[in-house]
Amino acid sequence: MASQNFTNLASHLANASIDFSSVTIKALLINETIPSEANLDAWVDRADVTNEHAISGNYVAGGFACTRVLEALDTGNNKISVTITPTNTPVFSNATISSKGAIIYVSTGVEANDLLIGWVDFGSTITSTNGDYTVTFTDTLDIMV
């Protein structure tokens, strides 16, 4: 499965629940269970996520900061792109982690209010054993709104 948006993202945008010009974006690592189509359709906020990777080394629950870039309005195609990537290349030391991707969300500090945006597929399981785990998005999450 490739990186995808959560179905409820359209509702969040239509209800003006997400303003990409001002929100704080974070990503959390998932374990080896990728979100199913049913998860993409049903999960709304971070409290719904059942596959966040366990805390290990200096990886903490809730993950790491991301940067969002709003591209220029594309009037020819009637859209605007939002590209989301890690703010810095996160490196979690002394960590034992096996992850297939990351879930991107709007961070408010309260799981039930942290709206899900999408998930990034790492392409395969990336593993570290009591060592450094480096997060690199090989496929950025691009949102067309």
**Chain segment 116-129, per-residue pLDDT in tens:** 999 998 888 999 99
Residue 47 sits at the vertex; the CA angle it makes with 15 and 122, to the nearest 5 degrees, is 90
How far apart CA 123 and CA 54 sit, in angstroms, is: 20
What integer pLDDT is reported at residue 128 of this predicted model?
95
Helix residue spans in the chain (DSSP H): 8-14, 37-42
Residue 50 has pLDDT above 80, yes or no: yes
Residue 143 has pLDDT above 70, yes or no: no
How far apart CA 136 and CA 134 sit, in angstroms, is: 6
* Start-to-end Cα distance in the chain: 22
What integer pLDDT is reported at residue 142 of this predicted model?
60
Determine the distance from the C-alpha atom of residue 74 to the mean position of all C-alpha atoms in its chain, rounded to a whole number.
24
User: Quick one: CA torsion of 49, 51, 54, 59, rounded to 10 degrees?
Assistant: -70
Name the pLDDT band for 79 (thresholds 50, 70, 90).
Answer: confident
Number of domains in the chain: 1
pTM: 0.89
At position 113, the amino acid (one-letter code) is: N
Range of the domain at 109: 4-144
- Give the residues across from 5 on adjacent strands: 118
